[in-house]
Amino acid sequence: MSKSDSRIVVYTDGGCRGNPGVGGWGFLMVDRETDQALERRGGEAHTTNNRMEMTAAIEALRCVRDTSHSIEIRSDSRYLVDMCCSWIKGWKARGWKRSSGPVLNLDLVQELDRLMQHYSVRWTWVRGHAGDEGNEYADRLTNDAMDELAKGKDPSAETRYERSPIPV
């Protein structure tokens, strides 16, 4: 993958064990100018894979305080990337309806739309489980969240780094 020209690069992931089932999400956000990074994870006891993919992106965007920073979100979810790059505009124009019926997960779709109005966001699809270090990192966070939920523990965690744990 070519180097990003975005200041902030975010790797996101979401998943479920069962669909619906125990779900987790995670992201790693790196400021390419300072090399500082933030990782965060969470989850829900009964959810879907797509909801967790969207939640990871929403939670990442909520962490960006400076709306002047350009952001690249890298995700292995074609659904998320296609939705944010193409589908959401049409759904919104049709009163939040798809040609085949209601928009699923409308609460999260509308929150993504709202957040994207405040930032310059570029969405990039990356192949999952193919050795992309950032994608593997976000996947580990997602699985850690699901593991904690399965043990009956709080899946939420956050770590800040003075230097990114992976090269971006």
The CATH number of the domain holding residue 15 is 3.30.420.10
76 is catalytic: yes
Domain around 131: 8-161
Q: Within a domain: residue 1? A: no
Number of domains in the chain: 1
Note if 44 is an active site residue: no
> Domain for residue 147, yes or no?
yes
What pTM was computed for the model?
0.96
What HEC string does 25-93 produce? EEEEEEECCCCCEEEEEEEEEEECHHHHHHHHHHHHHHHCCCCCCEEEEEECCHHHHHHHHHHHHHHHH
**Which one of the listed residues 44, 59, 76, 132 is annotated catalytic?**
76
Locate tokens 């995700």: which residue? Answer: 75
Amino acid identity for residue 117 in this structure? Q
The pLDDT tens digits for 12-61 are: 999 999 999 999 999 999 999 999 999 999 999 999 999 999 999 999 99
Condensed to tens digits (0 to 9), the pLDDT of residues 49-81 reads 999 999 999 999 999 999 999 999 999 999 999
- Does the annotation mark 118 as catalytic? no
Q: Is residue 155 part of a domain?
A: yes
Q: Identify the pLDDT of residue 129.
A: 86
66 is catalytic: no
